[in-house]
Amino acid sequence: MSDLVVVGLGYVGLPLVAEACRAGLQVTGLDVSPRVVEGLNAGRSHVDDLSDEQVGAMLAAGFTATSDASCVAEADAVVICVPTPLSADGGPDLAAVESACRGIGPHLGPGTLVVLESTTYPGTTAEVVRPLLEELSGLGPDELPLAYSPERIDPGNPTYGLKNTPKVVGADDPAAQERARAFYAQVVDTVVVARGTREAESAKLLENTYRHVNIALVNEMVRFFHELDIDFWEVIRLASTKPFGFQAFTPGPGVGGHCIPIDPNYLSHRVRTQLGYGFRFVELAQEINSSMPAYVVSRVTALLNDQEKAVRGSTVLLLGVTYKPDIADQRESPALDVAKRLLQLGARVEYHDPHVEHWDVAGTVRADDDVLAAVGRADVTVLLQHHAEYDVAALEQSAACLLDTRGRTTGEKAHRL
């Protein structure tokens, strides 16, 4: 018998498994991927935040991974942590959530707590998950405690992990709310009780919409400050000295990852389909942030023009192709769009990333392990992601021309976004 079954063993589900095992719970992981299941049972991690040694500790604590959904039959709690990408019409694609429900539904027993952690639009838990689980399990509302708890995993964050990040939990009846609160209290330091599932679902969307809009603000400002010949990075530094009323956001080549480019669109889509009008802040932020790769390429073109060189035939080296520093995660990375645009213009595109051995972008070439030698050969080097392994001062000295999209350089030789 398991205390917990975690459905979906990726960047969200696996950290939950690890913390639950550390808390002394008996945990089973359920995933549709045979590769993931076999790898975990053999002690191999496939996510940045967990090492093979940590997976080994999970196994030693009794963890096992499986693709057999019947494992939920003896579980006290089931937490669904599957992906929710965007669909073709810009709304959330709930195929994985619905598939997970179809898998576990027939095996649920009376009183088994089910929690959805997958990010989605407000109303999903009550309007999609509950009817599906009740139909498949044959259980009534009083027999099926259901809650929502938004994931707050920040891959690569050395300070905040699952345990010390407050956990929001919402359910639509008091008994289910208490079950969910008591469950998470075993695993995390702080549980924050929401009024209901819709409020808990909306909290995650507000968090990421806030970041999305503010990143778009500085991404738009950095363009015209460049035209005005004002150092916007210095402007940010100065504004950041104010101890109240200001939080610094920095521009970049675009937004990436599993949250910011996607989550705000769930809310925008919900508002448009249910209320009939748009969420203009999100739509404008999406337009600005998604245009940043093209702006980076335009800056590369201008720098080559200053050298009396065409983009076609020039070597452009991209440093760092992951969506955030010091991890291997490439989901929604703006580097992909930058590379494709440069290739379309005829550039010879090389890349270097200490965390990415193979980058699936046809036409790009992996640079030598000696990053400074590669920088020295390139006509233009673009710092897309600042990994800790990169010595920015050395890069600046070695490069014939360096475009810094992360504001990390301090010398006069580099060009900052």
Contact call for residues 31 and 128 (beta carbons, < 8 A): no
Any residues with CB less than 8 A from the CB of 193 and at least 6 apart, and which?
Answer: 169, 170, 177, 181
Contact assessment for residue 27 and residue 52, using Cβ atoms and an 8 Å cutoff:
no
Contact 338, 301 (CB under 8 A): no
Q: Residue 235: exposed, middle, or buried by beta-carbon count in 10 A (0-12, 13-18, 19+)?
A: middle
Q: At 382, which amino acid appears?
A: V
Strand intervals (E) in 160-251:
167-171, 191-193
Contact criterion met (CB below 8 Å) for 313 and 378 = no
Beta strands in 67-206 (DSSP E): 77-80, 113-116, 146-148, 167-171, 191-193
- The residues, any chain, with a CB within 8 Å of residue 137's CB and separated by 6 or more, are 105, 106, 107, 108, 144
Residue bearing tokens 């009376």 = 110
Q: State the Cα–Cα distance between residues 279 and 205, nearest whole angstrom.
A: 13
Backbone φ, ψ for residue 335 (5° rounding)? -60, -30
Phi then psi for residue 263, to 5 deg, are -55, -45
Q: What is the b/e burial string over 324-347, where b = at least 16 CB atoms within 10 angstroms of the residue's CB?
A: bbbbbbbbbbbbbbbbbbbbebeb
CA distance 260 to 263: 6
Among this protein's residues, is 71 annotated catalytic? no
Q: Are 100 and 8 in contact (CB under 8 A)?
A: yes
Q: Please pick, among 21, 71, 81, 259, the residue that the annotation labels catalytic.
A: 259
SS3 414: coil
Cα 265 from Cα 286, distance rounded (Å): 8
CA separation for the pair 55, 53 (Å, rounded): 5
DSSP string covering 10-55: STTHHHHHHHHHHTT--EEEE-S-HHHHHHHHTT---STT--HHHH
Catalytic residues: 259
